[in-house]
Amino acid sequence: MSSNPAELDCFSLLAAELERLGMKHEAEVLESAVASGSTGSEILGLAGQAIAELQLLHPREAAGVLRPFITTCVVAIRHAWPSYP
């Protein structure tokens, strides 16, 4: 993952939406990784796990209003890990 500000913003937005949907722990872990400058692979791994949980627990939101930035996050993840589902 590059240190592209747009990608980092995408992951920060994902963390905010996770918190809004009651996934506070996942939000805090992801936001902490972004804010502390963790490695790209760590951020991508955490985001991938969070997206999978989000899609499982909140499918309507994941398929609706959150879809555009989830897609942006998934593109970044797949760039590093082409086998990501």
Question: What are the DSSP calls for 46-65, one per residue?
Answer: HHHHHHHHHHHH-HHHHHTT
Domain boundaries, the chain: 5-80
Share of the chain above pLDDT 90, in %: 19
List of residues 6+ apart from 85 with CB closer than 8 A: 52
Calculate the average pLDDT of the chain.
Answer: 84
Instruction: Measure the CA–CA gap between 82 and 18, rounded to whole angstroms.
Output: 24
Structure tokens at 28: 């805090």
- Report pLDDT for 70: 82
Structure tokens at 64: 């609706």
pTM for the full model?
Answer: 0.77
Per-residue pLDDT tens digits for 12-42:
888 898 999 999 999 999 899 888 888 878 8
